[in-house]
Structure 1
Amino acid sequence: MVTTSLGAASRPLPPLRWSITDSSRAARDAVEAACPEGMLPDGDACVHIPATDEAEDSVVSTNAHRERSGRWALYDQIPRRPDRPADYELYRYPAPAALPGGRTVVSGYDLDRPNESQRRGMSLRAVGHGGVDIPGPRGTEIKLVALEHQQGDATIVHVGPLFGTSVVTRHTIREAGQLRDYLLLYGHLASAAPGLAVGATAREGDLLGFMGDTGSPELVHLHLEVRRMREGVDVSSKIGAQLMESSVSIVCDPRNVLPLK
């Protein structure tokens, strides 16, 4: 279950925190008691606390987070453009609103925020969030949304395991006077749409799959991630997890390309 609260529409969404059951909390407390000072349990291991060095934070305040080992991980990312609205609820999504007040997004993009403001999950393995999470009833239909300035139809480039059961679509966008390819990842699906196959084209409203919790047990939601293909990379030569490699594509704030309502 999600324990974060939604702030005002004009504010960034707070980091997401997953709840833990009484039994898992008791097990975690037992491991924590055995951890040295300055470390926290992650499963059955003790790992460094994610953000403690203020001097280092001031130098590397964005495009970074601490890994489980305590070292800094730097990454490329494309933050929200200033001309794009900050309010997530102004955009259209592949799943309908299912939150109180007719809201859609429960956890937003935070890779452009300081390390200490990036999302932490139940374990320190989940640091930072490169997409948006959209909750809803299990089995909710996930339908393709054409992107801003999209040229032609989208293409299915992956169907199968990735972020749990996932579908990845490629979209060509006219941007800054040139054509650029973007990938959209739809993760944690219960299943892909029947007959969906790599190489097929998809248009606005086409069924891609059904909301579920594969790879994220008991947390039924859609993880929607946007990535821009690097110049000169042939997406047809990449399969599965290769599409998500930093040498192939760059994670991007979804608000840069999602259509406005």
Structure 2
Amino acid sequence: MTKRDLSSGMSEKEYYETRASEAEFLSWYQKQDLPKYERPSVTADMVAYCFVEGQMKLLVIKRRAHPYQNRFALVGGFLEKTEDAYEACIREVKEEVNLIIPREKVEQLMTVSSPQRDPRGWVITIAHLVYLPKEAIEEVEAGDDAKEVLFLDVDFKKASCSLEGRELTAEDFAFDHYQIIQESMRRIQGRLDWNPTFLYLLEEPFTVYEATDLVNTISSRRPIVSNNFLVKYKDFVEEAGVKRVPKKKPKKVYRLKRDI
């Protein structure tokens, strides 16, 4: 900072913010007591759905350790310095349940920044929707943070989760994960007509009948018939050949367009 700057009444803070180089500013900034902001930790949590034999399933873990020991939690974890939230999702799914998922099957859902949401301190979470293949039911394995890996039954029409016939409440879940799950169902239903990424739950290529079954499982409205699926979703899917079944007429199959 020069004598001229001092004589003009310019403060040190103003000088480094407006006159110094960016490198000089950053060096000065790191040494100051002020401005100093609280730095929250950041996690990525995943509402990971799976569609199996006409039933929506939700992947959760039973927490092995405190906080919320023995409660259900979404798969997730803290971001590392070298990754973004999407990369953290993919890594955490691999670490905790031994599954590798492609980037297109992960989409951001919401950010939750309530200061008191985690008893360990200020932890912001970036929640994501994750669409798992039906094979996930057989392939998951518990990782370090999981005492047990489970698939809950999900009823989109009732906005409820259950395990072995018992409907779960917010008290059964860690943190605010129950509320995040509720928001995920609202989000998928709200975008049913104009952004049907939920079709990633189907094994590609899929038939019209398989897709109609999924739509009717998610939708809280009047069920659609298979003949109306292409009328409703023709702008979002494309033909991907035919599916041949012995002694039956070949059926056209479809996939979700990658640019939706």
TM-score range, shorter chain: under 0.3
TM-score by length of 2: 0.26
Highest Rg: 1 or 2?
Answer: 2
Comparing both structures, which one devotes a greater share of its residues to helix? 2
